[in-house]
Amino acid sequence: MAKLATKDKFLDFSDYGRTAGTQIAQTLKNTRFTPIHVSLLFGVSGLIAIYCILSNHQYWACFFLILKSIIDAADGELARIRKTPSYTGRYLDSLLDMLLNFLILTAICFVSDSSFQATLLAFFCIELQGTLYNYYYVILRSKCKGADKTSQIFENKIPKAFAGESQKWVGILFKSYQMSYGVFDKIIQKLDYSAAALSNFPHWFMTLVSLYGLGFQLLLIGLMLAMGWTEHIIPFFIAYSLLIPVLIIIRKNCIKQKE
């Protein structure tokens, strides 16, 4: 079970950790480590990055943010290698990402002159940007034969647990996901609801949208920290959201369902 069929793969700027993540997954495939363990490990890497930000070790913060993206790629790859898809892992992964994003921006707020109000706005913007990328990416995966389909275009009901996972925990994590991500999903779906009917997206468009993927966002944050541009991170990600309407206009005008 691949994430995408070969014909649908595109240059994904946010997925630079995939090769190293796959190597990690291959190393762990015959061990007792589960994808959940790997998800928790990327959480640890994110927390170390936050500590480095607060301690003014910004080069190390950059390193651990990039490492977090690499480990983040490994958990899904391990599940695919073992052919053990999991809604538990899918929702836990997303919830950890949101929590870490908030804590990373809060740490940046503490070591810069940015206000907490601006930080909250930047957090909202980052989540909205990531949701746009995920929305189009999940649509693509949903129409791709043999692709990973643990993510749904419209997360409206509790999915049936896969073999080996608890339906109770799937339900709890799904409701937590809805409470945290629901508003972002609804906003993006409202802005481009018709995209869900498309059968595919051209590679160039998905590559463009991948500028909003979490991996690329963390790479930008890490590089800005390492270059001493900490003061500019919060305002940058607020302004970066100006691309959202541009991408949606491009999608609506250039990519339509074939008659």
* pLDDT of the residue at 2: 54
Place 149 in a pLDDT band, splitting at 50, 70 and 90. Answer: low
pLDDT in tens, 44-103: 999 999 999 999 999 999 999 999 999 999 998 998 898 888 899 899 999 999 999 999
Q: 1-32 pLDDT, tens per residue?
A: 457 777 888 999 999 999 999 999 999 999 99
pTM of the predicted structure, to 2 decimals: 0.93
Residue 195 binned pLDDT confidence (cut-offs 50, 70, 90): very high
Residue 141 has pLDDT above 50, yes or no: yes
- Name which residue leads in pLDDT, 165 or 240: 240
Give the separation between CA 197 and CA 93, rounded to whole angstroms.
Answer: 27
Q: What is the pLDDT of residue 5?
A: 72
The answer to whether residue 240 scores a pLDDT higher than 80 is yes
Residue pair 194/141 in contact (Cβ under 8 Å)? The answer is: no
The per-residue pLDDT for 146 is: 60
